Amino acid sequence: MQKLDPEKKQSIIAAARSRFHRYGIQKTTMQEIARDAGLSVGTLYLYFKNKDEILLACTQVFRSEHERAARLILHSDRAADEKLRHYILDRFRAAKATREGTDCAAEIARAVIRLDPHRIEAEASLTMLTIGQILQQGCETELFHHVNLAVDVEVFAYSIAYFFPIAGKEPDPPPEEEKLLAIVNWFIAQWQRP
């Protein structure tokens, strides 16, 4: 069995992400992805058997970026309140960039959900886990005093869900970063009360 080059795989994913965002999934061919990645079509098929596999690999990149950002924030020297603000705003900006970065965002979102129906739940679980870890750190440093982790994480997550719509289902008015930050700050104030 031939050993596959991880750099070639990454160049395929990068080429596909760019093309999917620019032209959509349906209008993108395997030949175009291969060309953009600087590979032959035959080589492309050694790595991925179809566009669905490539799309799933692209979504894994987004997940990996989320996990990396969460780890960096959790292990930073910031106080828990700053970690929470930073983490939520980072997620908001990443979600907004995904939704607004292309006219094809709704098509991509539908395809991802079709291929991986548990994707939204997995992202929500990672978000809730990270929020819980930040709150726990705040309790351990005695910055937060009135925290019921299981309940507060869930209530907080539901309170900010409006700000993280799925592409193609944006609310009116659109979510604003300043309003999200106001909600985050309100919760922080509740947890910090003496």
pLDDT tens, residue by residue, 36-75: 999 999 999 999 999 999 999 999 998 999 999 999 999 9
On whether the CB atoms of residues 13 and 60 are closer than 8 A, the answer is: no
Cα(4)–Cα(6) distance, integer angstroms: 6
The residue ranges of every structural domain in the chain are: 1-49, 58-103+116-192
Place of tokens 């980072």: 90
Cα(61)–Cα(58) distance, integer angstroms: 5
The CATH code of domain 58-103+116-192 reads 1.10.357
Q: Say what the pLDDT of residue 19 is.
A: 94
| pLDDT at residue 1 is higher than 80 | no
Q: How far apart are the first and last CA of the chain?
A: 63
High-pLDDT (> 90) share of the chain, % = 78
**pTM: predicted TM-score of the whole model, two decimal places:** 0.88
Q: For residue 31, give Cα distances in angstroms to 50, 61, 182.
A: 11, 22, 47
| pLDDT at residue 100 is higher than 90 | no
pLDDT tens digits for range 140-189: 999 999 889 999 999 999 999 999 988 777 778 889 999 999 999 999 99
Tell me the residue type at 5: D
The CATH code of domain 1-49 reads 1.10.10.60
Cα(93)–Cα(99) distance, integer angstroms: 10
Of 84, 77, 74, 72, give the one whose Cα is nearest residue 190.
Answer: 84
Tell me the residue type at 40: S
Indicate if 58-103+116-192 has the same CATH topology as 1-49: no
| pLDDT at residue 90 is higher than 80 | yes
Indicate the pLDDT class of residue 2, thresholds 50, 70 and 90.
low
